[in-house]
Amino acid sequence: MIRILAIGDVVGLLGCKTVYENLEDIKKKYKIDFVIANGENSAVGNGITKKSAEYLFSAGVDVLTGGNHSFKWHQFIDYIDKSQKIIRPANYPEGTPGRGFLEFNVKNSKICIINISGLVYLEALSCPLVCLDKILEKTKNIKVKILDFHAEATAEKRAMGFYADGRISAMFGTHTHVQTSDEEILPKGTAYITDIGMCGAVYSVLGVKPEISIRRMKNKIPIKFEHDSCGPSKIECAYFDIDEVTGKALGVKRLRFIFS
């Protein structure tokens, strides 16, 4: 059995710091073999940078997934293109820097981590379902496959879950920063949760200072978002138990940790 931990969107400095200070304890307590974290909001002001990525790797993260903010910082493009520990949505156009999936060796087994973006309220990328089909064709020899589906709409995530059921080991959703309580093993053996949540400020609007989000909502005037960097913080995540021989999920558990 392989136990894989997936950590929700790491938001800003507080999110990074919280992961850095607590991830090793979580790994030990729950006997985690491999850690995935969505890092596309880990930089100050969102996006991802070399500094925030390497900070999360030093915290014990094995691979970082991305999303619609993956390419916010131009100076990061060369880094993501060369890195063997960072992936961005696979349904970006052909020739986009970086990779949409990566393979790793865990406990003498090969696993594949996949990142795909949804389309509803996000960029007009290629069809996520067709994208998944192409990746599965390329990785037929790998039993354990985990998908981070970075999408806004819950219906789109549910549809992807059933589309992938029986063909991947687990799918978790990211992007909405709100943890859902629908973790389950789908009928054909794929573990699923619509969104694993976020890491960052507890008293925030998706990691952003509440007063800023309220002002924008009330006045309808664009304003720069600032991540809340103090007060209680949290790590929201889920782990998946996978049979490395069959690739089927044996279990899924949703977790939330609050730190004062």
| Nearest alpha carbon to residue 109 among 71, 83, 142 | 142
Q: Is 103 exposed, middle or buried (0-12, 13-18, 19+ CB in 10 A)?
A: middle
User: Which DSSP letter does residue 75 get?
Assistant: G
Q: Which of 69, 150, 177, 227 is catalytic?
A: 69
Question: Residues 150, 65: contact at Cβ < 8 Å?
Answer: yes
Copy the structure tokens of residue 42: 């880990």
Residue 136 one-letter amino acid: L
Is residue 74 annotated as part of the catalytic site, yes or no?
no
Contacts for 95 with CB less than 8 Å, ≥ 6 apart: none
| Nearest alpha carbon to residue 112 among 100, 124, 128, 123 | 100
> Catalytic amino acids?
69
